[in-house]
Amino acid sequence: MPATTPLPHSAAHLGWLAAQERQLLTFGRRVVREPSGLAHWLGDDGAPDLNQPSHTFITARMAHVYFLATMRGIPGGALLADRLLTALDTAARDQHHTGWLDRQPDAVSAADLAPEPEPQPDKQTYSHAFVILAAATGTQAGHPVAPRLLEEALQLTVDRFGEHGGPLFADSLSADLATVRPYRGINANMHMVEALLAAADATGEQGWAERASAICDFVIEQAAGNQWRIPEHYTSDWQPELEYNADQPADQFRPYGATVGHAFEWARLLVQAAPAEHRDHYLSAAISLTDQAVADGWARSGHPGFAYTTDWSGQPVIDDRLHWVAAEAIATAATLWQATGDTRYQSWYDAWWDYTATYLIDHTHGSWHHQLDPQNQPSSTIWAGKPDLYHAYQAVLISQLPIRRSIAAAVLAGESSDG
């Protein structure tokens, strides 16, 4: 990664970030669903939404968050992280085949263990990536089960979802993992980059970081050939499908067009993943992605905030403000500010935290509003409630920590330097 400059935060700003960190963790304290230990989907006030099933990616993301909090020395997270990771090792597993289910009922009964009466849903790389991330963070936090879970999740995901002869991962497989579905997507691969970098730090095996970098190389090439707007959707042989879902542009996981928040997220990951011999190339790509995302996404409707998606000329398609887009923008501004020392990233960092504090942070019920309309009023057409803390919590942490390959490693480095 590039040489970095510590962020010159004032004591007051650091205190504000610390308060935000604790408020987020308090909001999520009711996450564990009993008796399974899986995660609840949290509503606007932090109460469990019992109309929602448990999702593996939320269980894993919340385990990751509370392991990070435990590593930060904040009481109250260790038991939650343990329950959630144990659920990933038990209730979240597919009892009929292997791998991890995308979503689960609250408990596994004897009837559930009988031959299934109807086909199960496909398995997703996206969910498996977060299992890897949670296990990697748990390993760095010293959880006794996490290393075994990490090894199992890595082996299965690479063996079954990995594309033969290349670094990329297919998006989904049939429930029995026998059939690869034709759709290919860059979102799942982005989270595999995050997971593989965390696995490299947790295991000390450099090969995981090398695979993450190889995925990044593909994304840099795709973005550079498309005016630094990342194609999100692909055919089975990895040819871009730029008009995918043009007829349903607000799809929750596969929206049409360029996703502004993913440009920021990829930019940050490029800085974290950069091999020593390609640092300048990765940093240059991260800057280009960020500049294009700001030009396309920021305050395009006359109101502050980021558009969710744009078309391929940069015009907003879905102009609602998703909380995670602002969170990733803040994290990227902090990362590029450290990596370059350029004060324009400080200006963006300040402006985007100011926007977040004014509109996104829910000062009444806690956490962040997960969706606002173009006039910055709460909305729920894409995301209902406040399901988890992952994006907001990472934005708060990255704002305070040195750049490392994984956020868990950054926490350890930050705690070491403070001590």
- Could you give the residue numbers annotated as active site? 262, 391
Q: What angle is formed at CA 213 by the lines to CA 212 and CA 218, rounded to 5 degrees?
A: 100
* For helices 125-141 and 146-156, angle between their N-to-C axes, nearest 10 degrees: 150
Does residue 35 have a cis bond before it (omega within 30 degrees)? yes
Terminal CA-to-CA distance of the chain, rounded, Å? Answer: 23
Q: CB–CB of 160/180 below 8 Å? A: no
* For helices 78-89 and 125-141, angle between their N-to-C axes, nearest 10 degrees: 130
Q: CB–CB of 369/40 below 8 Å? A: no
Which of 390, 396, 276, 409 has the alpha carbon at shortest distance from 334? Answer: 396
Q: CB–CB of 64/390 below 8 Å? A: yes
Instruction: Give Cα separations from 286 to 279, 282, 294, 305, 395 (angstroms).
Output: 11, 6, 12, 21, 17
